[in-house]
Structure 1
């Protein structure tokens, strides 16, 4: 069993990620114990912090907090800066006076897959909370009205999926001759990618806080992230295998399958047949969300299409990826029918 005693600090920010507007508040010291024989990773400790907060929100002044918007990062701090032996009151005072620049200067992010050393007193858990979406909205008449109009929007989504059933598969739907027909504002199944310019959509962040959370993660400076030896090794192998020339698309997929699968997901480059009412296609990879399965329907979280070289084939790889997204909506509709 591996044990850690780590202070957890709340970082509240108003932008897309922690910045000079961030404020810090001491929450608790969490005693983490690894209950299995597996060596714990930083991500395990981070999840334990979130679980503790979810189980007792009032104790940490987090009542009504939407925990889906929170992210926990494990950081390593300089021993001479970190008040590991201070009392709770001293901790509260210390962190209330801490600013973003001081935090960045005195600590760095520990990769999620890194295994912390047992008894390490230089670890710190930062609970990131975007201020604008921190609280769940209180039910009101407005929200009740919103729920009453959900049914028409559900029907509209079904209309889009139904239109998608009639489309060509991605490999053909991405041809310019097809896109000139489907990329019209009058088409309910058009992709809002600014081609043409009037096919513009609202910012995706207005639909769910998870998108803002993703942008915050992407905005994190890379120089503050520590990569493991395994991550660097996988990255190098992927780059080396990808930059080599391959005679066919199949040989390219075979060359990157193992390393790509180890780095991202084991099925990210595993050809999988997708069958729907009007036919079958076989992308170069399909990742499904098994934990979100409903009966026989399993949502698809990723469809991979590989091009051997830029310029090969008869369509733009990006256009084919966009068609793949529309195809997944068509597949979902077929599975529901």
Structure 2
């Protein structure tokens, strides 16, 4: 009978009902080392231009730093495991590669909607106050997920799950309820260094440590200025994010494709978009193509900059025609990227 189950068990059952693939509970102070690691990472400048990481470090360092009333953290994971090989288009010069997580609906909206549904249920069932978070707040989702038993932070610094590999979107519910915690995540990376050696830009100075300034995801999404020349050829045809370190994780073999979560099914036009079409985008066209996608937040200029870099790496001389007008683009970063690409295609 449902009434005979503990609140913790009922939370996990409800989470599954709402589409979460993983759910675990940790005490609010269960990741004590996270704060020191964050401070060292910031001191080394590894966050690059992500200034918000710095300005809200005191909130991010611990759940209580953000909300002093919190007693327990419910960590949740929603699978977006792809049905096909994310690296399959690596040699397709005329198309752009978009990270798996961004090929469908915006995960912020999808995960937060279900977190709120779980939060409403919990408030009715258990009482207490709560707050829900997914990625946009100063929350250390990965160490908390490890503390709650969802997996462990791998050498690529992302969460690795025994059941879902490296393909989990993470969310968290902070609550004033004193819940019984689960144990820490089981498993580990052992001697495997597949994610380290797969990185095209050597963004891992050491296992379990990421220098965002060298990461293709950072360079194509967070960085607004010109992409440093030293990374341009390594970017290949990646125009939004990079899956390489995630895709080679051996634990992915246990992850079933997320077929049941329709929201994360890839949109056909985002699986292998034509570079010529992307280079021709204006602001209105960009908003139309990427409506409902997490890609919309980077704006037209950053996307066209990325597409120009990919075009320069494509070896496709037909793209010269589309690149030439961009040399006079109103955005100087776009114009410079186009000029570089033309130099690569017609030296």
TM (normalized to structure 2)? 0.28
Larger relative CO (CA 8 A, sep 6+): 1 or 2?
A: 2
Larger Rg: 1
TM (normalized to structure 1)? 0.28
